[in-house]
Amino acid sequence: MTDPLQFEAFMKSYQNMVFTTAVRLLGSESDAQDIAQEVFLKAYEHFPMLSQSPTAGGWLKTVARNLSLNHLTRYRGRWRFFSEMSKEDEGGGDYEASLASDSETDRGAIQADQREMLEQALAGLPETQRVPLVLYHFEEMSYDEIVARLRVSMSKLKTDMHRGREALRRKLRIRMKDELEMEK
């Protein structure tokens, strides 16, 4: 029988990591909270094993990632069923337009809170760019693994990731420009 207090302590240790994994993939805090709840309910079922395991964090991260990707796949499938129009690039256009519109004010904000800006910039990317970037940079999956998991072609993946990185670069252009010049 699982001790609720012990499980609460376990959850407190890992809830930020699980929530972060989900929110970066999903781009939505409410969806991420639903997924995190699902992850911990599964963890509760396996708690006797997880509480003794040194790889509990990895297990939780993998479950959070898989549930988030399944969630995205499910809603994307429903959305596109009767739709001929691809929405993939709409978010990117809006995002870039927003960059152009507030480019001057960004400068101060980026310097003031670079991490928050980057987090917001990542969340603002369209799903087709955000998801592979998160899988590559945070989940440490290779291009081949991402292609297989997302069922997209390698060329589409590279295009999306390139666009995503470019969008982030534009958001962080001040600091990166300096660093790129230093590397030359």
Partner 1 sequence: MSTEPDPRLERLIHRELRSLPDRAAPESLLPRVMAAIRERQSLPWWARPWTSWPRSAQMVSFLLLLGVLGGLGWGWPTAWEAVGPVETVGVLDRLLSPLGTLWQGIVTAGGEAMAYLNAEGRPLLLMIGSVVLALYLFCIGLGTALVRLVLQSRPQNL
Residue 110 is a binding residue for partner 1 (CB under 8 A): no
Residue 58 is a binding residue for partner 1 (CB under 8 A): no
Number of neighbouring beta carbons within 10 Å of residue 57: 14
- In one-letter notation, the amino acid at residue 116 is E
Residue 115 is a binding residue for partner 1 (CB under 8 A): yes
Residue 162 is a binding residue for partner 1 (CB under 8 A): yes
- Closest to 150 (Cα-Cα) out of 65, 90, 80, 86: 65
Residue 59 is a binding residue for partner 1 (CB under 8 A): no
Q: Do the Cβ atoms of 107 and 64 come closer than 8 Å?
A: no
- In one-letter notation, the amino acid at residue 103 is S
- In one-letter notation, the amino acid at residue 176 is M
Residue 107 is a binding residue for partner 1 (CB under 8 A): no
Options 54-62, 96-104, 145-153, 160-168: segment touching partner 1 (CB under 8 A): 160-168
Which x/- pattern over 86-105 shows residues binding partner 1 (rule: CB under 8 A)? Answer: -x--xx--------------
Q: Which of 6, 13, 45, 73 binds partner 1 (CB under 8 A)?
A: 45
Place of tokens 């969008």: 167
Q: What does the radius of gyration of the chain's CA atoms come to, in whole angstroms?
A: 19
Distance, CA of 29 to CA of 21 (rounded, Å): 11
Measure Cα distances from 83 to 57, 78, 87, 102 in Å: 39, 9, 9, 33
Residue 37 is a binding residue for partner 1 (CB under 8 A): yes
Which residues form the interface with partner 1 (CB under 8 A)? 4, 7-8, 11-12, 15-20, 23-24, 26-29, 31, 33, 36-37, 40-41, 44-45, 72, 75-76, 78-79, 81-83, 87, 90-91, 115, 118-119, 122-124, 126-127, 133, 137-138, 155, 158-159, 161-162, 165-166, 168-169, 172, 176, 179-180, 183
